[in-house]
Amino acid sequence: MHHLRFAVLALCAFLLLGGCGSPDSGLLPVDVKGVVVDPETQSPVLFLVDPDSERGLPVWIGLNEARAITLGLKDVEPPRPLTHDLMKRMLDLLDAKVERVVISDLRENTYFATLDLRSGRKTWEVDSRPSDAVAIALRFDAPLYLSRALVQKGVLVDLGSATSASGPEKRYGFVTQELSPEVAHYFGFEKEKGLIVTEIIKDGPAEKAGLQTGDILVRLDRKAVQGTEELWSALGKKDASKAIRVEVYRNGKVRSFKIKP
């Protein structure tokens, strides 16, 4: 069962790969490729990926940190500062910046990270949880790394499997998962019904239309979406030559996209 969960999560993150990092002695540069939802526990999972291969590090994180990372990825500034925004403002006032984040070790099923700070000639190495470190790093556009020692422990998973999209979803270029009310709340979605978009197939119709991972699908052709099975059934009945219209919840607003296969 544990291997199955890893396989499903790897499939959810597949095709999110891209970008590049700067080499550093003894360190492996990684990119943040989003937060997906563990289909079994409904817990958020942060994916850090090696831009030069189809390997990634999944890190199970809390709901608050998932929301902070999602907002950071989308460059959304909340009306009032959340914890990581407040930390960014404090460091700015102290004329300090985050130079890099290193996910350094795994001990007793817990990941460890450090924030490397600089202010003038002074430097500090601050112990941190990876989720907090990533949320702050995104607000400074700071690079992320895995230590080689951590990589040698075999923590990376292969994301190069075939896409998790079903036939109808593959046609339109996106994958969804069920969304619990609790997870929906922390993604800024106050309604109980909706599906979270966990994968956008590269160069597919959904990507070209502007759909993004983290969007919450609420309507298909003006009809409310109740679950994944209903979505698959509805997509399977559509004329493959005609476009569909989806409405998604993103950053507090409902947006509409026309997707042509």
Q: Are residues 221 and 141 in the same domain?
A: no
Can you give the residue range of the structural domain that contains 144? 2-158
Q: Which residue has the higher pLDDT, 45 or 7?
A: 45
For tokens 């790897």, the residue is: 10
Exposed/middle/buried for residue 60 (C-beta within 10 Å: 0-12, 13-18, 19+): middle
Q: Are residues 181 and 151 located together in one domain of the fold?
A: no
In this prediction, residue 58 carries a pLDDT of 87
Q: Within this chain, do residues 36 and 92 fall inside the same structural domain, yes or no?
A: yes
Would the pTM count as exceeding 0.85? no
Residue 40: which pLDDT band, with cuts at 50, 70 and 90?
Answer: low
Tell me the percentage of the chain whose pLDDT exceeds 70. Answer: 79
Residue 167: what are its φ and ψ, rounded to 5°? -55, -55
Q: Which whole number is the average pLDDT over 80-103?
A: 92
pLDDT tens for 122-174 read 999 999 999 999 999 999 999 999 999 998 888 887 765 444 555 667 788 88
Same domain? 65 vs 150: yes
Say which residue, 105 or 232, is predicted with more confidence: 105
pLDDT at 229: 79
pLDDT of residue 185: 62
In total, how many domains does the chain have?
2
pLDDT for the residue 17: 38
Q: In this prediction, what percent of the chain has a pLDDT beyond 90?
A: 32
Which 8-state DSSP code applies to residue 18?
Answer: -
Q: Quick: pLDDT tens for 199-255.
A: 788 788 999 999 987 788 889 998 888 787 788 888 888 887 889 999 998 877 889
The percent helix, strand, coil of the chain (3-state, each to 5) is: 30, 35, 35
**Pick from 158, 178, 206: which residue ends a domain?**
158
CATH number, residue 116: 3.10.690.10
Q: What is the pLDDT of residue 134?
A: 96
- CA–CA dist 47, 104 (Å, integer): 16
- Helix, strand or coil for residue 250? strand
What is the DSSP code string of 165-188? --HHHHHHTEEEEE--HHHHHHTT
Instruction: Using the 3D structure, point to which of 158, 177, 205 is the last residue of a domain.
Output: 158
Is the same domain home to 116 and 180? no
Q: What CATH number did the domain enclosing 241 receive?
A: 2.30.42.10
Higher pLDDT among residues 105 and 4, named by residue: 105
Same-domain status, 175 and 151: no
Q: State the chain's mean pLDDT as an integer.
A: 80
Residue 91 or 39, more confident: 91
Confidence of residue 12 (pLDDT cuts 50, 70, 90): very low
As a whole number of angstroms, the distance between CA 225 and CA 188 comes to 18
Q: Are residues 154 and 198 in the same domain?
A: no
DSSP helix/strand/coil, 223: strand
Does 252 share its domain with 222?
A: yes
Q: Look at residue 43 in the predicted model and tell me its pLDDT.
A: 79
For 118-123, the CB contacts below 8 A with 24+ separation are 119/94, 119/95, 120/95, 123/99
Is pLDDT above 80 for 191? no
Does residue 135 sit in the same domain as residue 171? no
What mean pLDDT comes out for the span 77-101? 90
